[in-house]
Structure formats: structure tokens, C-alpha cells
Structure 1
Amino acid sequence: MRTGLVEPAMERGWQVAVTLTPTAGDWLRVNGEAERLERLTGLPVRDAPRRPDEPRPHPEVDCYVVAPASANMVAKLATGIMDNQALTQVGEALGTNDLPVVVFPRVNAAHARHPAWQRHIDSLRAGGVHLVYGPDVWPLYEPREAPSGRELPWLAVLNAVDEATR
């Protein structure tokens, strides 16, 4: 995420603030990536809500990017479940006029065949979400059958942000 998304976004002149799900926060703190992101952005990496007496640690947002989004994240976002800091922020953004949200669902073919999946995608589209999704962006493979070392479509995500914020 740092080298594929955050650094290129900053090279485009964007200020970047990172908010993670608790699971992603755990993973990135264990491998030192959260600290690298904090040094790079100059802002704390959030994965928990702040107390009411604490100041907001991030500036006002012009666009939210959810990338990569797990099938679980997409399902929760589409159904309005806001059970962690990241989902709360993006869920609020979906209810805010003129605040773009870009989502890249990093899923496999089995996720996409789930009976609820298309409803989730349709719900996000109806909410105005800019989806970075489709076989031209992220071909779907069966679980554990994708080529190893496959790069995430960071350029497509960055371009979607450019388009969403015009």
C-alpha cells in the first residue's frame, strides 16, 4: 500500500491520511509498516476511534479510498455496517454530498459468485461509489489459484481518485 498507493498519491501532490481496519492495523504495526506510513505522511495511522476529548488527528477529507477492500469490507460498507473506525468514516462519507469514495474490491471468483455479492456492488454504485472493479482491472481467479506476485491495480485506483475529484 505504501509504495503502490501512498507514495504515488503524495507524488501527485495529495496529502494522505491512513485509517485502517483493526485487523490491517495489527498486521501493519507488527511489520513496522504503520510507522513507515506515519513518517511518510506526517500523520498518525488510525485504526481505533478517538476519545471525545481528543482532537481530530487527520485534516478534512476530499476523497476516501478503500483499497484493497476485502469481501467483508465491501459487504459491510454496502449494508451500512460501521463497526470499526475505517468503516465509520467511509460509511459517513457515503451519506455526505459531494464527498467521493473510491473502492477497489480485492476479491476472488468465489466471493463474486456469492448470492449477495452483486447486490453489494449495485448498492455501492447506487450510493455513488467509484468502483475500481472488473476483469480489465482485477481478473478474478478461484481461491488460491491466482498467479503469485500479482500486482494490485494501484494506478487504476489513483486514476479513479483523479476522476472522482474533478
Structure 2
Amino acid sequence: MLGVVASGAGGVEGLFDGLVRPALDAGWRVGVTLTPTAGRWFRDKGLVAEIEEATGLPLRVDSRLPGEPKPHPPVDTYVVAPATANTVAKLALGFGDNQALTQVSEAIGTDGVEVVVFPCVNAAHVRHPAWPGHIANLRSAGVHLVDGEDVWPLTEPRSGEWHPIPWRAVLDAVDGTRP
């Protein structure tokens, strides 16, 4: 089972065609959880039904109430793509202030559960003095990072430069977690 988690970064609208559909085609069972911002974007753009129909599972944004059944089966691999700088920082520090972050934070460091993260960040995020520590924390916990200039060339904020999300590189990293 692949748990797809996405945050509200530019390009997230391509999640279905770029990651969910190819993962389904590759034989993964897929459950999708979005951060509150991404969830609002998907609802506003009418993208929820297509994902739910294809996966056969509800798209999650909100936490379930006590006593409600778990809407997704247990996950073998989580992929967080795109992950904003905020999402990366919270995962590195163990914060789970929404459903998407809670499930991935609980998975990091858990035997038998792989975590892949694609940081969708700009040059200013990477220059921040806390950034190297966040990346080091995730790597030391065994998180697979999809990063580097060959995957995601950094641009300056508000420069007008934009790169499409490297969905193929993300899916390759996910497929690399299969036993």
C-alpha cells in the first residue's frame, strides 16, 4: 500500500496524472491524504472525485473521529510529493499538526515502513540556516529524499522561473522501496 501525501505547492494539481495513476498502473494500491491547503485546492478545482474513483479510497484531509473506521489500509511506503519547506521542516522536527503530517511523522523511523520525500523548495529555503539540519534529520531517520540539481534545479523566489514537478523521479524512488 502506497500512502501519497501532498502539500500545497505549485504543481500539486498534477498529482493524479503524475503520481497516482502511474503508481496504480505499476501495481500499487494507493491512498491519498492532503494537507489542509492542498485539500482546499483540490476541492476548489474539482479534483477529489477523480482520485477517489481511481483509488477506491476516500481522499483524506481531516482526521477521523474516535470510533470511526480507518479509511485507508496500513501503508508500506509513504511518498510526500510535493513537500513544501514548511512540510519538510515539520517532518524533520516530528510535528504532526494535520492528518497528512501526523501519519508520515508516525511512519518515520518505523521498521518496515519506507518514506520518500520530494522537497519542492526554492533557493531561499535551502539557504536558511535550519535547512541543512532538517535534511540531515530526515536522512538519519532513513527517509529517501528526491532532491539535487539534476532533479529539481533551485530558483530564486518570485523569479518567474518554474520547473514541472519531477513525478518520474519521485515514482522511481517509490519503486526503489519495494522489497
TM bin, normalised by shorter chain, reads: over 0.9
Q: Shift of the alpha carbon at 1:162?
A: 1.2
Task: Could you list the structure 1 runs, at least 4 aligned residues long, displaced by more than 4 angstroms after superposition.
Answer: none
Q: Which residue, 24, 37, 57 being the options, matches 1:43?
A: 57
Match of 1:158 in 2: 171
Q: CA contact under 8 A between 1:29 and 1:35: conserved in structure 2?
A: no
Residue 112 of structure 2 is aligned to residue 98 of structure 1: yes
Once the two structures are superposed, the pairs formed by residues 84-163 of structure 1 within 5 Å of their partners are 84-145=98-159, 147-148=161-162, 150-163=163-176
RMSD of equivalent CA atoms? 1.0
Once the two structures are superposed, the pairs formed by residues 56-67 of structure 1 within 5 Å of their partners are 56-67=70-81
Q: CA contact under 8 A between 1:17 and 1:41: conserved in structure 2?
A: yes
Match of 1:13 in 2: 27
Q: Distance in 1 between matches of 2:84 and 2:117?
A: 10
Q: Distance in 1 between matches of 2:94 and 2:138?
A: 10
Instruction: Tell me which amino acid in the other structure corresponds to 2:170.
Output: V
The percentage of counterpart residues that share the same residue type is 61
Match of 1:82 in 2: 96
Q: What's the TM-score, normalizing by structure 1?
A: 0.96
Q: Distance in 2 between matches of 1:32 and 1:10?
A: 21
More strand by share: 2
Gap change, CA 1:19 and 1:73, over 3 Å in 2: same
Q: CA contact under 8 A between 1:64 and 1:102: conserved in structure 2?
A: yes
Q: Distance in 1 between matches of 2:55 and 2:158?
A: 34
Paired positions, count: 165
